[in-house]
Structure 1
Amino acid sequence: MSTTSMAGAASPTPGPEGQDVLPLVAVAYGLGAAGPLAVGAAADGLCRVVWLCDRTDPHTAEVLAFLERSGDVLDVTGRTPEEVAGALRAAGARGVTTFSEGRIRWTAEVAAVAGLDYHRPDTARALTDKSAQRELCSGTPGAPRHARIVGRADAPADAPADVLAAARAVGFPAVLKPLSGSGSRDTAEVADLAALRAELAGLEGEFVLEERLIGDPAVAGEGWGDYVSVETLSTRRGHHVLAVSGKFPLAPPFRETGTFYPATLGPAALRAAEQAAVAALDALGVTYGVSHTELKLTAAGPRLIEVNGRVGGGTARTVRSVGGPDLLRTALLAALGRTRDEVRRSAEGRPFPDRIGYEYLPPAPRADGTVRALGGAREVRRLPGVDVFTPTVRRGARLDWRTGTLSHLGMVYGTAADHRALAGTVAAIDRALVLDLDLDLDLDLDLDLAPDPDPDQLFSTPPTGQAAQR
């Protein structure tokens, strides 16, 4: 396989002798919810995939050689959406999509010019701009109070007018997060105006300040995360909920530690979560593809955290591992413009899985430093219920908890007989892993170094602030 120039993008590779050529789907590549191997497996027998790659993106440049070895690549570096759309039309592409948060808006522009199904550009903006999203969803039940703030490195000593206005509109405690982004990066809780000013000091860019939502641990059950995600297929004819996944408790301040399917919710709470997700999608005008909606489970019902216009990270593998819908294949079917009934048939899995699929992300301590060693990998791989453990830190690596969910020590995938067995497996993983970290002198002393918990109490309710929304 090779990188194709814009001028040479028009000739599809013939299929095997005697077989029709599979339709072509272009996938805008970027760091996100699905890599090339997973997308390739989902596309098997359904479509051919060409990766749209922008070499100015550092991650894409780093993995470009692998993408070229594993599939077809179209270099779109420096090209306008109109030029890319023309190349896709010349190649006979039947669809375009992305599994990367950072490529959603660009993909929407290309699709609009090429006349292919995808999020409309205005919908794509709402899906990736947290302030615009909250504004559009403000009339839906459970939408949090919010305000937009512009960070300035040279801000005066006194709080600027927009900061004061945001504080009055939202109140405290609150959560400050970048206007765009994913994975809880640079997300912080602020208790008062002084804390808000301190977080903004020296920062530039746009942020959203929003009400901190307090979860009710009784909804999902003691020991589990107090939020869920809802994967939904949308077409112009409506929405179809594909899966509702539970979450492990957040690590301070708002770092995700993984997901599991199915969730622990009872029938009433499950229906409420599905209805809340559909209401948010309607408010945003979503009529295309698979979306990932996160909801806080509060005593007053589910409240919106955010909507992502793509498959959720880790969710596709977790759901599929126990016979649930193939979310990546469903997303590719949607890109091909298949009818809703055909897509729904592809998405159907066992309604009541007989096992629990999970992705666990062991969190690093809330500290900055350099990794000396990570021990226990062999012990983790030997645990019952663990299929794969991939460490994500190595000797000499820098750890920075401010990178959010990406500050984890590794990725663990597997299945468990039930939720209680899953709790025991995660407790054993945490006991096995030993991080040797050379701490920076200027460090946050909240190292989360608690003694090993009793397996039955593994997921005790986190202190106030850890259970807030991302």
Structure 2
Amino acid sequence: MSTVLLVHAKGGPPLGHVLSRTAARADVHLLALSALPPSVAASAERLCASVVLPTDAERSDLVSLIVARAQAVGADAVLTFSEYAVVAVAEACEALGLAGAGDAAALARDKRMMRHTWHRHGLPQPAFRPVATQADLHEAVAALTAPLLLKAAWSAGSTAHQIIASPQEADAAWQRSRETMDQSARLGFAELHVAEAAGHFVVEEIVTGDTAGWFDEPGWGDYVSVEGVVTGGVFRPVCVSGRMPTVEPFTERAGITPASLPVDLQDRVVDLARKAVDALGLRDCGTHTEIKLGADGRMWLIETAARFGGAMTVPQIEEVFGLDVVGMLVDHLLGRPVAWPDRVLGPEQARGAAGSLVVLAVDGRGAAWRDRRRWDFRVVREAVALSEGSTLSVVPESSLPDGSIVPVYDPAGGANTMAALCLLSAADARTVLRDFTALVDALPDVLPPAVPAAPRPGPPAGRSRNTTAPSASASPARPRVQPAVPSEGVAV
């Protein structure tokens, strides 16, 4: 049987899903650059031929570590599904002579190089400037048209995003973004190979999205993602996923497979994604390309990743289209024939729909919850009414334990301040969107309070007792301390 070295780090699809699909195709040796989620540790021991957690000293030269471990186990393929390990694994595959994303992996990781590449190819995207210092940021703010978005060039999950509405806000945005990147690194949500990555930023103009000409019903977000794969340098689209509107500044709340796009519009989106991937020159890897939708059919490229989409995108594809894209990619990297779809799959080929929701302490309008709550999936499952035939589950490895206090949402922290990740299956994408909307609206009311209300003094004799509990105290200011996050985040 063939041998695969799987490099695990935070983010990406759930490790349990990835492990089981990979183990069905090959003997798996796991190199864990992040601690294994407790819910997966036992199955990892069962499914893997070996599990190695390297020391900090061993991780100082990550590519050499991966190469040495691959050689020790006789790996026929090396892969990762984490954004933070993509570049290191690609370089290791090059050194080993194995199939991988290739030298272009960094172009699909560093947002500065990505945008420069697309600019040279004349592809539509927001105007931008790379930023390495506070002085660079001031120059960029003067050159571009506000409002602007400052983002870390190597981040994921909308981490360290800051909106700059005027030049006077630049200094505060710069300080907050850098603080957030430091926090993320301590949590393990940071680039693992490029030492100076935390100091790289890009600022870009915020383009105006519009869904009116794209979707037949309201409630959809103004961007989509094209899920696909590159094999031998050839881009093969699999499907298009839709979104709910983001939470300010641009934190993703939910992804839905498939997107409810008409065939002609879906083809236009896929064509732009193909041009974006082709321009980057990727070779053998999964891909995830995000595209902003505008009025009059306009589109702008947001970013492309040299890996499959995070959160539950991969399990959603398997549920809806019956494609085990993890196993298919493993087969391809091992040199086996794989029957990828002849063309992108859409609602017509789907068996229902599925979506993943990131639980954040904000309501449907993006406003912070009025009080603190405790996450309890059992309460949610029993209290929130969904459409007939819809089923809701929680992803344990990407969720806080029941009883945990839901973190205050921090716009700069993005998905770092999530409480849980939920998966919903329904008859169609419209139903997923409707049920998620109902779920988001219900959460701040059905979840138990973080601090039970203090009992009121009893009423005077002869008068009835008021049984209405007082509301909990208002949320404190958003903390700038390390948030409580699940063991595995969602780099989408």
Paired position in structure 1 for 2:215? 220
| Aligned 1:33-432 pairs, distance under 5 A | 33-54=12-33, 57=34, 59=35, 66=42, 67-68=44-45, 70-71=47-48, 72-77=50-55, 78=58, 80=61, 81-82=63-64, 84-121=66-103, 123-138=104-119, 139-151=121-133, 160=135, 162-201=136-175, 204=178, 205-218=199-212, 219-221=214-216, 222-236=218-232, 238-299=234-295, 300-313=297-310, 314-339=312-337, 342-344=338-340, 352-365=349-362, 371-374=372-375, 376-379=379-382, 383=386, 384=388, 385-390=390-395, 392-393=399-400, 394-396=403-405, 398-401=407-410, 402-432=412-442
Specify the code of the residue in structure 1 equivalent to 2:87.
R
C-alpha contact 2:361 2:369 (8 A) present in aligned 1: no
SS at match of 1:373: coil
Which deviates further from its counterpart, 412-421 or 78-87?
78-87
Equivalent-residue separation in structure 2 for 1:254 and 1:305 (angstroms): 11
Q: Mark the CA change 1:44 to 1:252 in structure 2 (over 3 Å): closer, same or farther.
A: same
Structure 1 residue 73: deviation in Å? 1.4
Structure 1 residue 304: deviation in Å? 0.4
Equivalent-residue separation in structure 2 for 1:243 and 1:102 (angstroms): 24
Specify the code of the residue in structure 1 equivalent to 2:330.
L
Specify the code of the residue in structure 2 equivalent to 1:280.
A
Structure 1 residue 349: deviation in Å? 7.5
SS at match of 1:344: coil
Equivalent-residue separation in structure 2 for 1:29 and 1:45 (angstroms): 17
Higher relative contact order (CA 8 A, sep 6+): 2
Which deviates further from its counterpart, 215-224 or 68-77?
68-77
TM-score by length of 2: 0.75
TM-score by length of 1: 0.79
Specify the code of the residue in structure 2 equivalent to 1:147.
R
The number of residue pairs the alignment matches comes to: 410
Equivalent-residue separation in structure 1 for 2:383 and 2:287 (angstroms): 32
C-alpha contact 1:368 1:443 (8 A) present in aligned 2: no
SS at match of 1:421: helix
What do the CA deviations read for 1:123-164 (whole angstroms, capped 9, x no partner)? Answer: 121111111111111134312211111245xxxxxxx2x223
Equivalent-residue separation in structure 1 for 2:75 and 2:45 (angstroms): 19
Specify the code of the residue in structure 2 equivalent to 1:329.
G
Greater share of residues in strand: 1
What do the CA deviations read for 1:196-224 (whole angstroms, capped 9, x no partner)? Answer: 22211366422110121211111234210
Q: Mark the CA change 1:189 to 1:143 in structure 2 (over 3 Å): closer, same or farther.
A: same
SS at match of 2:431: helix
Paired position in structure 1 for 2:181? none
Q: Mark the CA change 1:24 to 1:116 in structure 2 (over 3 Å): closer, same or farther.
A: same
C-alpha contact 1:380 1:389 (8 A) present in aligned 2: no
C-alpha contact 1:369 1:400 (8 A) present in aligned 2: no
C-alpha contact 2:15 2:40 (8 A) present in aligned 1: no
Equivalent-residue separation in structure 2 for 1:175 and 1:49 (angstroms): 41
Q: Percent identity?
A: 26
Structure 2 stretches of 5 or more lacking a match? 179-198, 451-472, 480-491
What do the CA deviations read for 1:278-304 (whole angstroms, capped 9, x no partner)? Answer: 111111111212100000011242210
C-alpha contact 1:327 1:347 (8 A) present in aligned 2: no
Paired position in structure 2 for 1:25? 4
C-alpha contact 1:325 1:347 (8 A) present in aligned 2: no
Q: Mark the CA change 1:60 to 1:165 in structure 2 (over 3 Å): closer, same or farther.
A: farther
Q: Mark the CA change 1:432 to 1:398 in structure 2 (over 3 Å): closer, same or farther.
A: closer
- RMSD over aligned Cα, in angstroms? 3.0
